[in-house]
Structure 1
């Protein structure tokens, strides 16, 4: 895969823009752009997965009720 490609800059309204070639496409539909000297760095914003989201949640301080209380054990149920 090429790591470099010549592109042209153009105006889109009051913004400067460029077309990102297919081999450089980013996943998702949002990105963060920042400048380091004369270099622009564009990084996709990745949505956290389920496990990452669960890690960020606060732990529960309350106990949950026993919803199985009063039900017969599973091995006593006849089909």
Structure 2
């Protein structure tokens, strides 16, 4: 197939065609296999007349198991200690609560 490498991936800048169709009230594009995205979402933007689709990285979910929590804290520790400078804080105000 012209414009497609042996591995099935498109050459950079090589044009290809895709079919448009209606899906409910929206217009959809049937992408050729070589242009498929992983995941369930893409970001979309317009540049002039061009419509640009880009993959959206999957959202991280909260750790649920002990192993996932340990991996989370290990990743956090890998960034090193946060060195926050001391702040000049005014003394606490005396308040009459009643």
Q: TM-score, normalised by structure 1?
A: 0.54
Pick from 16, 22, 26: which aligns with 1:5? 16
* Number of residue pairs aligned between Structure 1 and Structure 2: 57
Q: Is 2:54 the partner of 1:43?
A: yes
Q: Please give the per-residue CA displacement for 1:8-38, whole angstroms capped at 9, x wherever unaligned.
A: 2111111011101110011221110111110
| Aligned equivalent of 2:92 | none
| Aligned equivalent of 1:21 | 32
Instruction: Determine which structure has greater relative contact order: mean sequence separation of CA pairs < 8 Å that are 6+ residues apart, divided by chain length.
Output: 1
Root-mean-square deviation (CA, aligned residues, Å) is 3.3
Q: Is 2:42 the partner of 1:31?
A: yes
Cα 1:28–1:6 change in 2 (3 A) is same
Q: Please give the per-residue CA displacement for 1:13-66, whole angstroms capped at 9, x wherever unaligned.
A: 110111011100112211101111100000011137889x848xxx5x9xxxxx
Output the CA distance in 2 between the equivalents of 1:10 and 1:48: 29
Consecutive aligned runs of 4 or more in structure 1 exceeding 4 Å deviation: 48-51
Task: Name stretches of at least 5 consecutive residues in structure 2 with no aligned partner.
Answer: 61-70, 85-98
